[in-house]
Structure 1
Amino acid sequence: MRAAAAAMLLLLAGCGAGPAPPGPPLRLDRLLAAPDAPGWAQVTGPVALAFPRDHGPHPAYRHEWWYLTGHLADDAGGRYGFQLTFFRFGLRPDGAAAGWRAAQAYMAHFALTDAGGGRFHAAERLARPAAGLAGASPRRVWVGPWWMEGDPDRVLRIGAADGPWGLALALRPLRPRVLHGRAGYSRKGPGAGQASIYYGYTRLAAEGRVRTPAGARTVRGTAWMDREWGSGALGPGQAGWDWFALQLEGEGELMYYRLRRRDGGTDPASAGTRVGPDGRVRPLAAQDVRLRVRGTWRSPRTGVRYPSGWTLALPAEGLELVLEPLLADQELDLSVRYWEGAVTVTGRRGGRPLRGRGYVELVGYGEEGG
C-alpha cells in the first residue's frame, strides 16, 4: 500500500511546476475515504500486464504512483536513505484537456536522510502536464526538473535536487519483477473497486551521487521500487496504513501493509508479500504477520505522534525482526503530511541472527480516529 497522496492534486490543478503553495496540510485518509467519482475505471480483478507499456501511465484510473526508496553508503562510511516518488492524479475521467485546463495533475516528493549528519530533508513539486511541465510515458516520468527514465527491468536512472540536497542514481534489478496480491491484484477491502494493481522490484542495485549541505558523495546501495494504480478509496472504517518494505541480508525481502481501523484494530484486508532467499514469492495475509509497536515519537513541528520502532514476525517460518528508524525525525510535512523513513533491521530466523534494511511509511496519524 503506497501513499495515494495524489488525491490532493484535485485542489492544485491550477499550479505550474514548482513547490507546493502554502497552507495547512491535507489529510490523506480523509481524501481517500471520499466516495469514488463516477467514470473512472475500477480494479475488480487481475489484468494482463504488458511491459514496458505498463511502466507508463494509466489515465483511465483515478490515481497511480511510481515509488522509489533505498539505502546508500559512501566510501567513508556515511549512510543515507532516499525517497523519490511521482504521483499522477486524474482530474477528469473523460480525459479531456484544453489549453491550461488539465485532465491530469502530477506531484513529486523527494527526501534524503543523512544518518551521519543527523539531518532529514524533504521537498515537493507540483505540476500539470501542459507545456511539458510534467508527464509520463513507459520510459520516462517527470515533474519539472525531477525525473526517472529507462527500463526497471534493465537500467533505471533517477535525478532530483532541492537547494544543497540532491540525488542522481542508476538502478539495476537484482530480483525479477514481483506481482503483489493475486497476479498483481491487491485488495484493500471488500468493496467493489477497493483494490489496486500493484507490482514492484524488491531489490535493485543503486550507484551514483548524493549531495547534502556537507558536500557531494559517491554512493552505492540497494533500492526498492513500487508501482500501483487504481480508482478505489479507503473504506469507511479505515483510518490509514503502516507500510513496511524490508530487504534482509541473505534472507530475501518482505513487504507488508497494515490497514488501520478507526477503532485501533487491524483491518482483515491487510496483506503483504514474502520473497524467500531462493526468490520464491508467496502472498501474506493479515493473520500471517505479527506486528507490535515498540515506542513513539512526537514531531516537534506538527505535534503529531507516530509509532517509532517495531517488532515484526512471521511465526510460520520462525522469522522475528526488530525495526528501528535511522533517524526518529523523517516526517514529510508538505502539502500532505506523513512519516516515511529508512529503518535498520535486526533479528533471527530459525535461531540464526540476521540483519537488513528497509523503509516504513505511516499515513493517517495526527487526527481524531487516526
Structure 2
Amino acid sequence: MNRGRRYGVWAGGLLAALIIGLIGYRLLQPSSQSTRGVAVSSALGGDDNAGYQRAYMPRPFEFPADHGPHPEFRNEWWYATGNLADAAGRQFGYQLTLFRIALSPTAPPADSPWRANQVYMGHFALTDVADNRHYHFERFSRGALDLAGAQATPFRVWLENWALTGAEADLFPLRIRAREGDIALDLTLDAGKPVVLQGDRGLSQKSAEAGNASYYYSHTRMPTQGTVTVGGRNFTVSGASWLDREWSTSALGSDQSGWDWFALQLDDGRELMFYRLRRKDGGMDSFSTGVLVKADGQTRRLRWNDVELQPLGQWVSPHTRDRYPAGWRLRLPAEKLDLTVTPKVADQEMRLTVRYWEGAVAVNGRAGDRAVGGQGYLEMTRYDHR
C-alpha cells in the first residue's frame, strides 16, 4: 500500500471513529461509558437530521437501483450473515456488514480527490464452532480514492478488500470476499427465495415519531458455497445466507434502549425474522415487528404481540462484563411454533468501536405436533453491565 493510500485509510478511520464517538458520548448513559466501545443503538439514535431525507411512508422499490447506495439518507448498511458447513460437518458462521455513514447531506466541492462526505465502517466476523472460537474485525475508510464506496450497476459495495459484488445487471450471483490475516471468506450466494419487503411494504417504523423509520428489505435464504479460511487452513463449505438492506436517517425513539434481532431459517423451509425493540423500562416496544416467510415465499407480517419472547439464562462476557441472555424461547402461538434459540458458541460478542453480541445460533422446537430445527443469526444490543 503506498503512503498516500495508507494515510487515506488512517484519516478516514479517525474521522469515522470521531463521529461515532461523539454520537455515543451525547447519547449513552454514564454507566455505559466505562466499557470500551459504544452501544450500537446509539449510532442510530442521533438527532442531527437537518438536510437529510427521512423515511415517512412506503415507496416503490426499484431493482437493481435500490441494491445500491442512498446518500440522501444518513445511515445505510449491507448486512450478510450465514451458517455454513464442510463435507465432514464442521460448522461455521459468518457476518460481513458494510455501513455507510454520511458526514453531511451535500457532496463536497470536487476540488480534491481526498474530499468525501461519506465514511464506511465494516464488521467482519467468523465463528468456528468446532474450535469454539469467534473472530471479529473492524475497518473504517472514507468514500474516496476508491478506498470504499457503493454502486448499484454493476452492484458493488466495498471497503478495501472486503466486498460484496454482484453480476453485471443483477445482484445475483453475489460474491462475498473478506480477509483479515489468516481469517478469510470467499463465497458465492444465489438468489434463493424472492425478496421480502419488511414492515409496511418496505417501511419499517421504529417509533411513533414521524420519520423514525427505515426502508428495509431482505433476502432470507440464499444457497451459499465457497471457501472459509481459518488459521491459513481452507475449508470448502456450503449452506445458507441471509442479506438485510436498510437505510434511514433516524431509527430509534428517545424511550428505546436497544433491540434483539432474530433471523432464523427453519428446516421446514420457512424463515422467521423478528426484532424486539426494548424500552428503557425493560418492556417490549409496540413497534417491535417481524415476518414469517413460508416455504413458497409468501409472507405473513408479525406484530409485536404475535410473538412471545423469554430469555433463558445469562451469559456474562469475560471481556466487558456485559450480561446477555444465554438463549431464548420464541413462541408464535398462531402458527403453533415453539422454538428454543441457542448460540452455537457462547462468546460471539463484537468488541469493536460499536459494541454488541451477534452470532450463529441453533434452533430446536416444535411446529404443532412436528419437531422442527434450524439455524440462524441473533443480534443483541445494549446489554451493559449495570
Q: Is TM > 0.5 for Structure 1 vs Structure 2?
A: yes
Q: Which amino acid aligns with 2:372?
A: L
Which residue of 132, 147, 150 corresponds with 2:166? 150
Shift of 1:215: 1.1
Superposed counterparts of 1:186-335, under 5 Å = 186-213=204-231, 215-335=233-353
Identify the match of residue 64 of structure 2 among 36, 45, 52. Answer: 52
SS in 1 for 2:334: helix
Question: Deviations for 1:284-320, whole angstroms, at most 9, x for unmatched residues?
Answer: 0000000000111111111111112101011001011
Distance 1:316 1:95, change over 3 A: same
The 8 Å contact of residues 255 and 274 in structure 1, kept in 2 or not, is answered as: yes
Normalising by structure 2, we get a TM-score of 0.88
- Is the 2:49–2:250 Cα contact (8 Å) retained in structure 1? no
The worse-fitting range, judged by mean Cα deviation, of 151-160 and 332-341 is 151-160
> Cα distance, 1:241 vs. partner?
0.3
Match of 1:81 in 2: 93
Residue 131 of structure 1 aligns to a residue whose secondary structure is: coil
Counterpart contact for 2:214–2:251, Cα < 8 Å: no
Alignment-derived partner of residue 102 in structure 1: 116
Root mean square deviation of aligned Cα: 1.7
1:233-287: CA deviations, max 9, x gaps? 3111100000000000124100000000110000000000110123211110000
Q: CA shift at 1:93, angstroms?
A: 0.7
State how 1:17-96 maps to structure 2 within 5 Å. Answer: 24-96=36-108
SS class of match (2:339): strand
Say which SS state the counterpart of residue 130 (structure 1) adopts: coil
List runs of 5+ in structure 1 lacking aligned partners: 1-5, 14-22
Q: Given that residues 69 and 225 in structure 1 are in contact (C-alpha distance below 8 angstroms), is that contact kept between their aligned partners in structure 2? A: yes
2:364 pairs with one of 339, 346, 361: 346
Match in the other structure for 1:3: none
Question: What CA distance in whole angstroms lies between the structure 2 residues aligned with 1:251 and 1:319?
Answer: 14
How many corresponding residue pairs? 353
Change (3 A) 1:324 1:298: same
Consecutive unaligned residues in structure 2, runs of 5 or more: 1-12, 21-34
1:122 paired with 2:136, answer yes
Matched letter for residue 136 of structure 1: A
Query: Are the aligned partners of 2:44 and 2:252 in contact in 1 as well (CA < 8 Å)?
Result: yes
Deviation of 1:31 (Å): 3.5
Amino acid at match of 1:263: D
Q: Deviations over 1:172-215 (max 9, x none)?
A: 02101110111101110110101000001000000000010161
Q: Percent identity?
A: 48
- How far does residue 10 in structure 1 lie from its aligned partner after superposition? 6.5
Q: How far apart are the structure 1 equivalents of 2:109 and 2:278?
A: 37
- Counterpart of 1:161? 179
Question: CA 1:258–1:97 in 2, change beyond 3 Å: closer, same or farther?
Answer: farther
Offset, 1:153: 4.8
Q: What is the CA–CA distance in structure 2 between the aligned matches of 1:215 and 1:97, rounded to whole Å?
A: 46
Note if contact 1:97-1:103 (Cα within 8 Å) is conserved in structure 2.
Answer: no
Q: Which residue does the alignment assign to 2:384?
A: 366
1:172 aligns with 2:190: yes
